[in-house]
Structure 1
Amino acid sequence: MAEFTIIVEKLPTRCTDDDFIDYGRRFMSFFDACPTAFGGLTRLIVGNLRFGESDIHNVLKTCQNLQYLRLFNCDSGNLTVLQLEHPQLNVLNIANCRFESIKLNCLPKLAQLMVEGWLSFQDPLTFGYVPSLEAVRLAGVGLKRHKLVKLSKILGKISVRDLRLNFKSEKIWVQPELPQKLASVFYKLRLVNLFRVPEGCDLTWTIFILEAAPFLKELRMTVWDHWCNMEKDEERRESLYSSNKSIEWESSAEDFKHHNLSVLTIFCFQSEDFLVAFIKRIMEVAVNLEDVFLYNMLACDTCKDIRRPCKFPRTKRQRCSLKKRINEGNSFAKFHFVTSVTADHVPISEYP
């Protein structure tokens, strides 16, 4: 249960390439001097350094008991491929690392994968032998120049139960696909969590997930422009952020019905037309929907002063009016209005 932390001298934003190289060399020098100690680790968190070409391979080879690995703000030089194999690794978390792509060659016990940010939007991940993989979290910022990602390509031949996508309040970077393209990837899917979907965009594109995942039980969504974590006007222009964050998509099956979705949860709900229209569409499609949970805005002390007025229905009259706007059909789903987040329905964090 020991925890060991090395603090670098500079903030990562002020580090030069030489600093990252120096930190990497110093870490590996210490690692090579204490192989027995590192060999007993079950958790390893490493950040803000540059590895040599074979360093990560050597670390994993030495840390045979490793169950959790987190790499953040790391690389192995320009446009390198991170190749991983380990007999015991259960959780892998890679955040803001500058690898051209990541290849999971052989990780027989890997159950959870979290990847935040990638250089290549077309081939960021390659899955080898990962028979135990249950949950995948992907987070990225879509810029103007980025082409949309096809989940059938990025996830390959794997099939997961829990899929979580974080759009960081920017352009939707997922390309809707026909059900047959995703049939093998989504047939085990039970929970989909879409985090920081940009406010105001048409949400009907998400129906393609329901069409491809017939056994999906719950759809969670956080619709939130988290302003204190977003680039402002000048930075947006310079970094080529997209002003059009939505995507257009029409279902190929007008009479499509989903028979297993039972729970729809929306965090940061506001009585806006685009959200009302989306819920109506879900209630039309999900014929056995049981519960609709609508949560108020998430608390953030940093950006609360620049947030527009809250449109969450607080009074009984407002809630009755909203339910009439939404439920014009024969759905028997129960509405639950929640002013604060509970332990049962916590949205995914940025990355723990």
Structure 2
Amino acid sequence: MAAHLVESAKFSVMTGKYEISDMAENDLITFATNFMLFFDACPSAFGGLTTLDLENLRFGESDISNVLITCKCLRHLRLYNCDSGVCSTLQVEHARLRELSIVQCMVERVELKWLPQLTTMVFEGWPQFQDPLFIGHVPLLEVVSLTNLALRYDKTVFLSEFLSGTSIRDPKLAFNSEKIWVQPEFPTPCLASVFSQLRFVNLLHLPEGHDLTWTMYILEAAPLLKELYMMVWDHACNMEIDETKRKEEAYSEDKGVEWDLVAADFQHHSLVTLVIFGFESEDCFVSYVRRVLVAAVNLEDVFLYSGLKCGSCPDKKKLVRYPWTEWQRISLNERLNAGIESVAILHYGEMWPGHLAKMEHPKCSMLKAKKGFAA
């Protein structure tokens, strides 16, 4: 490894604990101290690593920087609950890093300063500080996954600012069945630059019972978008459902966002596929699909699936079909197509191969492994 003759080498720190609430600060410091003692004892071996997975570590101020400097061959870095102290700043510079996953790290700010080879970033769970993400030189960044649970007092995010300096292709935005943390925007040069290369958009765990019209701003700002996926699901297994705790912990009951400012004559010429998980025959769904049918003049397929149900979280999922009867399908077709000239085909039956996998793209492979370990 020291001579860089190994093509792929992975090192993982597994502390045996998954829930952050189970971790004491002293545990984080102890785990990090032990790791750095081992790291400092064999820098040549770490110099040949291509993948590094770390969890539950509270580093010293310069430790993460030293790790990145030593691991010159690193292509994949995944951090889970790692920081240099609460409200610290995580600065990342590396010549070869291609994939970066930052999950539930209690840092005030992540700065992607110089990552010329980075193509994929997963950023899940950030404290609500001003400007938690700074993106510097990342010219190849295309795939971005952003997941956060927004509380009542949390401000919404302008993606034109949050992702400024990028031209991403495949974003996933996940909301944990709680408040929408994205603020729709009027088309601006900055927003147009960020969305100019969008091909596939994935909106995951949108809260149930709220208007979806706000997502039209993405279509308006992304002229090359071909596929739009969304999952509407109040997933009770992953939510705080105790009403007293929801009030005490400032969960929002007003989870939606209002936006109906897209031009009436707006047309989108690239979108060919719309997929909705969690579809119901409520007016908010029907009116939204009708708007897309009108705007997306070259739309080919609309897949309307009912909600995902899990028998034993997090793995055992099954898809419930909607509508269930032929009469319901005919009735829904009439409601969706009334007064609209569209060649798009509406699909209600069995889920097509690959749709569920696409809903989960991109994801942190380390987090998936940890969930399996915890189960």
Which TM-score tier does this pair reach, normalised by the shorter chain?
Answer: over 0.9
**8 Å Cα contact 1:121/1:149 also seen in 2:** no
Whether the 8 Å CA contact 1:296–1:340 is kept in 2: the answer is no
List per-residue Cα deviations over 1:258-317 (Å, max 9, x = no partner): 11111101122222221111111111111111110122322411379xxxxx67212222
> Scaled by the length of structure 1, what TM-score is found?
0.94
Report the AA paired with residue 307 of structure 2.
M
Cα deviation code 1:295-351 (max 9, x no counterpart):
2322411379xxxxx672122222122111111110110012244463255211664
Deviations 1:205-237 (A, max 9, x none): 011111111111111101111110001222211
Q: Which of 196, 199, 202 is residue 190 of structure 1 equivalent to?
A: 199
> What SS is found at the alignment partner of 2:266?
coil
Q: 1:99 & 1:176 partners in 2: Cα distance? A: 26
State the AA in 1 paired with 2:47.
G
Rounded Cα–Cα distance in structure 1 between residues aligned with 2:112 and 2:230: 28
**2: CA distance, partners of 1:97 / 1:7:** 16
- Decide whether aligned partners of structure 1 residues 5 and 252 sit closer, same or farther in structure 2, where only a CA change above 3 A counts: closer
Unaligned runs of 5+ in 2: 1-7, 315-319, 366-375
Q: Secondary structure at the match of 1:221?
A: strand
Matched, 1:178 2:189: no
What is the distance in 2 between the residues matched to 1:10 and 1:255? Answer: 54
Paired residue secondary structure (1:294): strand
Deviates more, 1:176-185 or 1:104-113: 176-185
Counterparts in 2 of 1:240 and 1:275: CA distance versus 1, 3 Å: same
Match of 1:48 in 2: 56
Residue-by-residue CA offset, 1:40-97 (whole Å, 9 max, x unaligned):
1111110111011111111111111111111011111121111101011001000000
CA distance in 2 between counterparts of 1:121 and 1:320 reads 49
Contact 1:122 1:147 survives alignment (8 Å): no
Q: What's the CA shift for 1:38? A: 1.2
Report deviation, 1:13: 2.5
Unaligned 5+ runs, structure 1: 305-309
Counterpart contact for 2:49–2:71, Cα < 8 Å: yes
Mapping of residues 142-291 of structure 1, within 5 Å: 142-180=150-188, 181-232=190-241, 233-291=243-301
Distance 2:167 2:349 in 1: 33
Higher alpha-carbon deviation: 181-190 or 265-274: 265-274
1:83 pairs, out of 85, 91, 106, with: 91
The count of residues paired between Structure 1 and Structure 2 equals 348
Identify the residue that residue 307 of structure 1 maps to in structure 2: none
Are 1:343 and 2:350 an aligned pair?
A: no
Aligned Cα root-mean-square deviation (Å)? 2.0
Aligned-pair identity (%): 50
